[in-house]
Amino acid sequence: MKTAFLFPGQGAQYPGMAKDLFEGSQKVRELFAAASDITGKDLTRLLFNGTEEDLKNTDNTQIAMTLANIAASLVLEEQGILADMVAGFSVGEYAALYNAGVLCLEDVFKAVVYRGRAMEVGARESDGPEGPSAMSAVLGLPFDEAAPIIQSFQDEKVFIANHSSPTQIVIAGTARGLDLAEKALEEAGAMKVVRLKVSGPFHSPLLEGARREFQEAIQVLDFHDPVKPIFSNVTGGLITSGQEARSLAGLQIVSMVKWVDCMARIVEADVQRVLEVGPGRVLSGLWKSYHKPLRAQSAGTLESIQALL
């Protein structure tokens, strides 16, 4: 059965995530120990005893999500369920890079440490007197209708960060800019506009400083050619080489996540099974809004993985 793994990103985290996987798998316990050594953080404490606020901090979130995503993929593999192709949403792309053989375990956790630190600093540099920069989900307004509205607020430093589904985008910007843009989008017919539980204006030009810092930091890491198809947030298409993966890793920080394009390419590949491999059900919902004939199934907890069997 041709299977696609979709790895969720920042915003899907919650206290206690992956605890059932940790308790049920020796491989996952070994993964936690290795990741804690690489990152210099007590990750069992962070994931199982950390607060929502602890997990919201970008330099924690990115490590925690990558760990939870990889843990779920290990448990799936223990049950004989392997990915034929992979994609990850935002920081979820790092679990995909690991699964596709682009980054080894040590380098994938080094990468998300560098990325989290750079993006947290970059986010705070974009804060203003009105408050911290942030992101908002815009529901019920097609991309073609929302895009020109957002374009009109670029001077207020608001940008489209994610093309998440045919009727959902995410915008990123300064506190003042988001207040203005959200009102305009609601007046244009958006069903709902929701501030997200993230700590910065990710996937926007506001993080150009973070992109430069991160791009320099990852020069010491080894990016290998993929051993299976992996789809890029930046292009929506396949990542064809390690060299391309390294370049796209930096660009991803300041570029719109083309998730609709990633989903389209997976559908074109005629997969028979789509699994959301990690915490929450965000990507399953986005998949349903794009392609209802094939349901994306949750595979981020021990119970949901056992249900697949």
127 band by pLDDT with thresholds 50, 70 and 90? confident
Interatomic CA distance for residues 309 and 304, integer angstroms: 9
Query: Of 203, 204, 232, 255, which is the active-site residue?
Result: 203
Has residue 267 got a pLDDT over 90? yes
Has residue 290 got a pLDDT over 80? yes
Amino acid at 139: L
Helix (H, G, I), strand (E, B) or coil at 103: coil
Q: Which of 124, 36, 10, 72 is nearest to 300 (CA)?
A: 72
Q: What class, spelled out in words, does domain 3-124+205-308 have in CATH?
A: alpha beta
- Residue 143: the pLDDT is 95
130 band by pLDDT with thresholds 50, 70 and 90? confident
Is 255 annotated as catalytic?
no
Where in the chain is CATH 3.30.70.250? 128-195
Where in the chain is CATH 3.40.366.10? 3-124+205-308
Q: Which uninterrupted H or E stretch holds 253?
A: none
148 band by pLDDT with thresholds 50, 70 and 90? very high
**Over the stretch 196-228, which tens digit does the pLDDT of each residue have?**
877 789 999 999 999 999 999 999 999 999 999
- Residue 101: the pLDDT is 98
Is 203 annotated as catalytic?
yes
169, 142 Cβ separation under 8 angstroms: no
106 band by pLDDT with thresholds 50, 70 and 90? very high
- Residue 196: the pLDDT is 85
Domain covering 128-195 in this structure, CATH number: 3.30.70.250
270 band by pLDDT with thresholds 50, 70 and 90? very high
Interatomic CA distance for residues 173 and 77, integer angstroms: 39
Per-residue CA distances from 152 to 34, 159, 208, 231 (Å):
47, 10, 21, 30
Has residue 160 got a pLDDT over 80? yes
- Residue 39: the pLDDT is 98
For 47-77, give the DSSP string: HHH--HHHHHSHHHHHHHHHHHHHHHHHHHH
41-63: average pLDDT = 93
- Residue 264: the pLDDT is 97
- Residue 28: the pLDDT is 98
270-298: average pLDDT = 95
DSSP β-ladder status, 192-195 and 158-165: unpaired
Length reported for the chain: 309
Could you give the angle at which helices 26-39 and 105-125 cross, rounded to 10 degrees? 50
220-238: average pLDDT = 98
Query: Of 90, 164, 232, 255, which is the active-site residue?
Result: 90
